[in-house]
Amino acid sequence: MNENEVIFSIARHAAWAPGVSTQEGWADWAQAPWPLTPGAEPRVAAMPPMLRRRAGLLGRMALEVAYACIGQAQGVPTVFCSRHGEVVRSVELLRELARGEPLSPTAFGLAVHNASAGLFAIARTDRANHVALAAGGATFEHAVIEACGQLADGAPMVLIVACDTALPAPFEAFQDCDEQPFAFAWAIAPVQADVQTDMPVLRLAWQASEAADTPMPRMPGGLDVLRFQLSGDRTLVRDAGGKRWTWSRDGQ
């Protein structure tokens, strides 16, 4: 890890969206992406029902891919990232305030940005470090940098969970891309230069940019990175948050 580039291996990965949950389905989507629309919710069968019932659609998607990626493994630091977080819950809370109704402490607690990370830790009685962050159009890139920093500090593996969903009506007019429901997870590990491995190795480099954010007529930034990972493309270049982000596959 240096000041403007990180390199890492993807040890495991998982993705879920309404209507797309298998590896074959995601491979088809990556070659010819279609808009992901709201529909069925994931079962999150690995989580105890009492906790599972607390999660909304965004949380269920995040938890589904987190379990699919590392299961019940303990001691793995996690970085949950979402540009908008539990915005649907937040709008419901704001409407209750506008009507003069008392707010539910439980509903408020589940609307904060680290709610899914907390449920994941509680369900597995895991005390490993977890972080939740949002950074606009470059949210996923910042999550990767945070996770690689933890690898550099000695963590053998870090779980990254990215999720977002369609914006509720009050915010639809302000979206700068076609927000869609999706979640994916990467369990990343340090690159072992002297060890042969089948794990894909990705690089992320960045530099200051005065260019406007990359137009995203169809998909948000995190989903674009997922498409890059699954499609086999050699590079992906995005402008977001005042930086130019360059993704590439090592050795290409």
Domain annotation covers residue 139: yes
Residue 108 lies in a domain: yes
What does the radius of gyration of the chain's CA atoms come to, in whole angstroms? 18
Distance of CA 115 to the CA centre of its chain: 14
Token pair of 23 as six digits:
């590896």
Higher pLDDT, 17 or 39: 17
Model confidence at 29: pLDDT above 80: yes
pLDDT at residue number 219: 84
Query: For residue 103, what are the contacts with CB-CB under 8 A and spacing of at least 6?
Result: 93, 96, 97
Give the pLDDT band (50/70/90) at residue 1: low
Task: Report if residue 251 sits inside a domain.
Answer: no
pLDDT tier, 55 (very low <50, low <70, confident <90, very high otherwise): very high
Residue 23 lies in domain: 5-200
Q: What is the mean pLDDT of residues 246-252?
A: 82
Per-residue confidence band for 211, with pLDDT thresholds at 50, 70 and 90: confident
Residue 158 parent element (H or E): strand 158-164
Question: Which CATH number is 120's domain given?
Answer: 3.40.47.10
DSSP, res 215: P
Whether residue 132 lies inside any domain: the answer is yes
86-137 pLDDT, tens digit each: 999 999 999 999 999 999 999 999 999 999 999 999 999 999 999 999 999 9
Has residue 2 got a pLDDT over 90?
Answer: no
Q: Determine the average pLDDT of the residues in 150-173.
A: 94
Q: Grade residue 216 by pLDDT with cuts at 50, 70 and 90.
A: low
The total of structural domains in the chain comes to 1
* Strands of the sheet with 78-81, listed across from one edge: 130-133, 78-81, 158-164, 182-189, 5-16, 201-208, 243-249, 235-240
Measure the CA–CA gap between 230 and 58, rounded to whole angstroms: 22
Q: How many angstroms separate the CA atoms of 155 and 18, rounded? A: 33
Report if residue 176 sits inside a domain: yes
Residue 243 lies in a domain: no
Average pLDDT over residues 233-239: 95
Instruction: Tell me the H-state helices in 99-164.
Output: 105-109, 115-123, 139-152
Q: What is the mean pLDDT of residues 198-209?
A: 93
What pLDDT, on the 0 to 100 scale, is given for residue 252?
A: 45
User: Is residue 44's pLDDT more than 90?
Assistant: yes
236 inside domain: no
pLDDT in tens, 166-189: 999 889 888 889 999 999 999 999
User: Poorest-confidence range of 13-22, 77-86, 216-225?
Assistant: 216-225
| pTM of the entire predicted model | 0.94
What integer pLDDT is reported at residue 251 of this predicted model?
59
Q: What is the mean pLDDT of residues 222-245?
A: 95
Under DSSP, the state recorded for 46 is T
Residue 156 lies in a domain: yes
Q: How far is CA 250 from CA 12, 42, 129, 187, 233, in A?
A: 17, 33, 29, 17, 12
